[in-house]
Structures are given as C-alpha cells and as structure tokens.
C-alpha cells in the first residue's frame, strides 16, 4: 500500500471517528422522539424556503463547473455541465473527501464528452479555488460585520477577528488583481496555477460568495422557525463550522457541522433544525444524485454498446460483398 493510500485511509478513519464522537456528544441528551418532535415543530413554510435556498446553492455549484469548463476553453453545453456537477457534488458532499470523489465522478462524465484528463484536472482545481474564494469572501464579510460571535468561539479579540476579516477580503481582491494582470503561470514550489481571465475570476467571486450565502440562508431558515436568529449569526456559525470541517476532514462534515453550529448558536440551534438542515442540504441531494448517476451510467453503456454494434456491422459489410 502506498503512502498516499495510507494517508487517505487514515484521514477517513480519523474523520469518521471525529464524526461519531461529535454526533454522540451533540445528540446524547435527546431521544429519537425528542428529535422527531423538534423537526415537526419547524413550519412547512420554513422547510420549503430552506429547500429553495439549497436548490439555489446547488445551482451555484454548477456555476463552479461552468467557470472551470470555460477556463479550459471548452464550449460544453450548460445542461451537461449542470448534470455532471450535481451528480458529483450531491454524492461527494455526503461521502467525504469531496476533492477526490467529485473529481473521479467529474472525470467519468467530462471524459465521456471528449475532455482530456488534463482539462478535467484543471476544472476540478478551479472549482476548488472557487470554493476557497467564496468562503474567504463570506468569512471576511461576517467577521467584519459580526466579530463578536467569532471572537467568543475562537477566543480572540474582536479587533483581531476584524483584522482577519479584512485579510480575507484583501486576499479576494488580490486574486482579482492577479487575474487582471498576470498571464504567466504562478509557481509555488512544485505547484503551478495558470490564472483565469478577469471575467472568469469575477464570476468565481460572485458565484462562490452567493453559494455560501445561500447555504447560510438555508441554515438560518430552519433555525428561525423556533428562535429569533439573525442571518449574520447563522452565517458566522456556518463559516466557523466549515473551518472545523477542514481541520477534521469528517465525511460531509458529519457531526462537526452540527457540533460547531450548536456551540456558536446555543439553544437557538434546536436539534430538529440541525437534523432538518442535514437532510435538506445533504441527504435529499444525495438520494437524488445517486440513482441519477446510475441512470446516466446505464445510458452511457447503452450508447457505447450501440456504437460498438454499428461499427461491427460496418466492418462486416465489405467482407460480405
């Protein structure tokens, strides 16, 4: 077994372990009936709004891939991009190691549509950069506008939190400056990255920020049903939860997201709201994306068999004349 595989499996074990511990720690005081009752207490309107925000987020996620496809100068139609993006991300965000799992799924689809391995790798890389930019932008906004909550969780002064927020915003602005003026590849040790055009970079900032803003709105909607929750506080909880997820590598942020949001929001984050958010943003897309992937795979195999059959007939025709 290679060192890379050992590291990957080790991260998975640690991630599942952390997820299990945090889930137990978060839900241990509640019975199943308590959780069900808490979920039922959320009005239908709030659940529908949360579903709408989740749908908007996955629509933005397809924009990540759209920017990546245009980055490699390919004119693949948006419906195909949206299909590949939704299947890859709806599955990978639940199973964990999103970069690896979504990359493998994207390669399956984009390669089928004629893209090279290098182009698919660039699309995955640019999507990852868009994730980082969107999170940096939203982090900067919430830390500048709402430093109190982040300061209490991180144990830092509000001035330090505001400074970190401005650094995040400055980093995003710096990325746009590089996109505008740098055309030669950036090299950091063995890592090389060719900057996108300014138009694509602006799209990354806008789509990436809106995506995470919509996820925060989804979280806030299920919490607002039972408590007076401000959007900024919900966004702060989501930003800090994502930082914790990056550190722990828990699959789909399972347990980590719930524990962090609960820690930041306190009683404002009911157990029912945490379960509802997990179901709406992760489980529902997963149980749509998984069978959809099987249907698409069946279509791919049927078309391949049809082409092979047609090619076989063409090869036999001259011999029979």
- Asked if 66 and 78 count as a contact pair (C-beta separation under 8 A), the reply is yes
**Mean pLDDT score, 59-67:** 95
- Asked if 211 and 134 count as a contact pair (C-beta separation under 8 A), the reply is yes
Say whether pLDDT at 27 is over 80.
no
User: For residue 270, what pLDDT band results from cuts at 50, 70 and 90?
Assistant: confident
pLDDT of res. 115: 92
Asked whether residue 19 is assigned to any structural domain, the reply reads no
Asked whether residue 54 is assigned to any structural domain, the reply reads yes
- Asked if 83 and 109 count as a contact pair (C-beta separation under 8 A), the reply is yes
Q: How many C-alpha atoms does 19 have within 13 Å on its Cβ side?
A: 17
Asked whether residue 170 is assigned to any structural domain, the reply reads yes
Of the two residues 246 and 215, the one the predictor is more confident about is: 215
Asked whether residue 75 is assigned to any structural domain, the reply reads yes
Work out the angle at residue 176's Cα, subtended by the Cα atoms of residues 160 and 236, and round it to the nearest 5 degrees: 35
Strands (E), the chain: 186-188, 191-193
Asked whether residue 309 is assigned to any structural domain, the reply reads no
pLDDT of res. 317: 61
Domain carrying residue 187: 33-294
SS3 content of the chain, % helix, strand, coil (to 5): 85, 0, 15
pLDDT, one tens digit per residue, over 154-164 is: 888 999 999 99
Say whether pLDDT at 100 is over 70.
no
- Phi, psi angle pair for 187, to nearest 5°: -125, 120
Look-up: residue for tokens 């990255």?
193
Of the two residues 227 and 121, the one the predictor is more confident about is: 121
pLDDT of res. 167: 96
Say whether pLDDT at 273 is over 90.
no
Look-up: residue for tokens 């379960």?
275
User: For residue 30, what pLDDT band results from cuts at 50, 70 and 90?
Assistant: low
The model's pTM is: 0.85
Of the two residues 305 and 72, the one the predictor is more confident about is: 72
pLDDT of res. 59: 96
Cα 19 to chain centroid, rounded: 18
Number of domains in the chain: 1
Asked whether residue 4 is assigned to any structural domain, the reply reads no
Asked whether residue 5 is assigned to any structural domain, the reply reads no
Asked whether residue 306 is assigned to any structural domain, the reply reads no
């Amino acid at each position: 077994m290679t060192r890379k595989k050992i590291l990957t499996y080790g991260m998975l074990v640690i991630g599942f372990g952390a997820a299990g511990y945090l889930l137990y720690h978060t839900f241990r005081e509640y019975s199943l009936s308590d959780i069900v009752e808490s979920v039922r207490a959320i009005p239908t309107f709030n659940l529908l709004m949360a579903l709408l925000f989740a749908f908007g987020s996955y629509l933005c996620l397809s924009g990540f891939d759209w920017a990546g496809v245009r980055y490699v100068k390919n004119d693949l139609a948006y419906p195909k991009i949206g299909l590949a993006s939704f299947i890859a991300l709806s599955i990978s965000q639940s199973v964990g190691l999103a970069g690896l799992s979504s990359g493998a799924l994207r390669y399956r689809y984009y390669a089928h549509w004629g893209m090279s391995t290098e182009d698919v790798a660039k699309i995955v890389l640019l999507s990852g950069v868009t994730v980082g930019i969107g999170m940096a932008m939203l982090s900067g906004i919430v830390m500048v506008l709402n430093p109190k909550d982040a300061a209490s969780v991180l144990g830092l002064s509000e001035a330090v939190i505001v400074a970190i927020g401005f650094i995040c915003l400055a980093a995003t602005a710096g990325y746009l400056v590089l996109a505008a003026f740098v055309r030669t590849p950036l090299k950091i040790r063995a890592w090389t990255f060719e900057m996108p055009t300014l138009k694509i970079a602006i799209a990354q900032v806008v789509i990436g920020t809106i995506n995470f803003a919509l996820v925060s709105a989804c979280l806030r909607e299920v919490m607002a049903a039972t408590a007076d929750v401000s959007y900024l506080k919900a966004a702060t909880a989501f930003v800090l939860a994502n930082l914790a997820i990056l550190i722990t590598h828990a699959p789909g942020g399972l347990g980590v997201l719930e524990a962090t949001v609960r820690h930041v929001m306190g009683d404002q984050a009911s157990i029912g709201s945490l379960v509802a958010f997990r179901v709406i943003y992760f489980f529902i897309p997963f149980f749509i994306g998984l069978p959809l992937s099987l249907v698409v795979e069946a279509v791919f195999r049927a078309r391949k068999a049809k082409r092979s059959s047609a090619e076989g007939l063409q090869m036999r025709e001259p011999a029979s004349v």
